[in-house]
């Protein structure tokens, strides 16, 4: 079973209940004595705050282990205390996933893209039914849902979660999906660009902030990217950060693009552009998956088109990699399975980036093969639901007799 860890955090160990829970979630603390040692709090204070978290139901104490001659019990996030859900909406797919609050992924499955309708209300009704059905399958009540994240292959204005000029579904322009989900649930709903969710999914766990600089690039029918800087998603001023796909490329466009940039990277080197280019030359190619397969089979014309796209993408990326200095460049999406494309991209990147930037640079494939954005969505929802400030607020409310 996949288990999701929180993103590395710069949150200081202040010793509030929410901070203590974060230390347990991130694996830094496994017992009350770990918590006392890390925070410098008196064991009696740690005991009181752990009791708050046990009472809230988010923490559980299990098992026994030898510790200093006495039996020490282990602290864990209580997976039974709730669930979060994620929906990843793609141009040709929908994924739905559910995890418990301990980060255990209970289910992550592809659903028919026919769930997506030009009417966002109809779409949300259908997606909600899918989440309900999945919750029932894994034996969880919908009343235990604590948060939801939705990935969209389009720019999403933040913090209001408005979808802006979506090429995949033009009628959703300016739509706030959270408003439609609010007809079904009162839990927080995060709508996020899918490449950002993908970057969140690929950010290393374990709290190593030094390595938590990630540029995730989704190479599919379209091109998108997400940025994690020191463990935090970099969304920019209003959510548009990472839209590298509309950078001007040197080649000729094969498809039109909604941006007004002539020969943008997406119109030149995306999977959709390559399929269109080959069709224009008389080839019959169904989709990007077939394109990648033909490249793997050594079709000379396809291999050359893939190599040229790799060079174009590598050239565009090198400017961003020099600028941002990531530790990881993660390549995902169907086109990232193309050997000729990735080899050309890597060669161009290492040829044109500063030596200091490439010294420890890891250009790698996605670690999680399937449902990347859905995994990122679950991680985002978990980090939001179990955010130290929110947990502290819940503890405060439970002490004053307020509702959860």
* Residues of this chain that bind Zn ion (CB under 5 A): 246, 257, 259, 264, 266
Q: How far is the CB of 320 from Zn ion (least distance, A)?
A: 16
Could you give the CA distance from residue 11 to residue 15 in angstroms, rounded to a whole number? 11
Nearer CB in complex with Zn ion: 82/239: 239
Q: How far is the CB of 102 from Zn ion (least distance, A)?
A: 41
DSSP string, 328-358: EEEEESGGGG-HHHHHHHHHHHHHHS-HHHH
Nearer CB in complex with Zn ion: 31/270: 270
Nearer CB in complex with Zn ion: 269/291: 269
88, 95 in Cβ contact below 8 A?
yes
- Beta strand pairing status for 189-193 and 145-152? parallel
Q: Mutual orientation of helices 388-399 and 43-56 as an angle, nearest 10°? A: 80
Nearer CB in complex with Zn ion: 231/272: 272
Could you give the CA distance from residue 373 to residue 192 in angstroms, rounded to a whole number? 10
Nearer CB in complex with Zn ion: 135/268: 268
206, 397 in Cβ contact below 8 A?
no
Q: How far is the CB of 312 from Zn ion (least distance, A)?
A: 13
Nearer CB in complex with Zn ion: 214/217: 217
271, 277 in Cβ contact below 8 A?
no
DSSP-based three-state secondary structure for 305: helix
Alpha helices in 220-366 (DSSP H): 265-269, 271-280, 288-296, 300-324, 339-352, 355-358
Q: How far is the CB of 261 from Zn ion (least distance, A)?
A: 5
Q: How far is the CB of 265 from Zn ion (least distance, A)?
A: 7
Q: How far is the CB of 394 from Zn ion (least distance, A)?
A: 44
């Amino acid at each position: 079973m996949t288990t999701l860890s929180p993103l590395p955090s710069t949150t200081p160990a202040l010793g509030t209940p929410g901070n203590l829970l974060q230390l347990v979630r991130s694996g830094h603390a496994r017992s009350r004595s770990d918590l006392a040692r890390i925070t410098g709090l008196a064991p009696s204070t740690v005991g009181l705050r752990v009791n708050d978290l046990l009472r809230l139901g988010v923490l559980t104490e299990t098992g026994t282990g030898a510790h200093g001659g006495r039996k020490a019990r282990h602290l864990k996030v209580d997976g039974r205390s709730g669930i979060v859900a994620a929906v990843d909406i793609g141009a040709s797919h929908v994924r739905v996933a559910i995890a418990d609050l301990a980060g255990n992924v209970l289910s992550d499955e592809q659903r028919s893209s026919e769930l997506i309708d030009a009417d966002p209300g109809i779409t949300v009704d259908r997606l909600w039914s899918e989440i309900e059905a999945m919750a029932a399958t894994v034996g969880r009540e919908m009343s235990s849902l604590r948060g939801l994240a939705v990935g969209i292959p389009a720019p999403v204005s933040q913090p209001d979660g408005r979808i802006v000029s979506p090429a995949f579904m033009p009628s959703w322009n300016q739509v706030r999906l959270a408003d439609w989900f609010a007809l079904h649930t009162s839990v927080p709903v995060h709508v996020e660009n899918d490449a950002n969710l993908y970057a969140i999914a690929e950010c290393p766990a374990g709290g190593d902030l030094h390595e938590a600089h990630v540029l995730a690039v989704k190479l599919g029918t379209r091109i998108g990217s997400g940025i994690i800087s020191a463990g935090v998603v970099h969304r920019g001023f209003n959510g548009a950060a990472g839209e590298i796909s509309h950078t001007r490329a040197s080649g000729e466009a094969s498809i039109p693009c909604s941006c007004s940039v002539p020969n943008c990277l997406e119109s030149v080197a995306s999977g959709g552009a390559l399929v269109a280019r080959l069709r224009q030359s008389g080839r019959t190619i169904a989709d990007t998956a077939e394109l990648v397969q033909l490249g793997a089979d050594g079709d000379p014309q396809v291999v050359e088109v893939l190599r040229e796209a790799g060079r174009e993408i590598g050239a565009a990326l090198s400017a961003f990699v020099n600028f941002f200095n990531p530790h990881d460049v993660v390549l995902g999406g169907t086109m990232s399975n193309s050997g000729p494309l990735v080899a050309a991209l890597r060669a161009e990147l290492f040829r044109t980036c500063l030596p200091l930037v490439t010294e420890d640079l890891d250009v790698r494939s996605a670690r999680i093969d399937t449902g990347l954005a859905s995994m990122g969505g679950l991680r985002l929802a978990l980090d939001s639901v179990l955010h130290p400030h929110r947990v502290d607020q819940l503890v405060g409310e439970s002490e004053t007799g307020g509702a959860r």
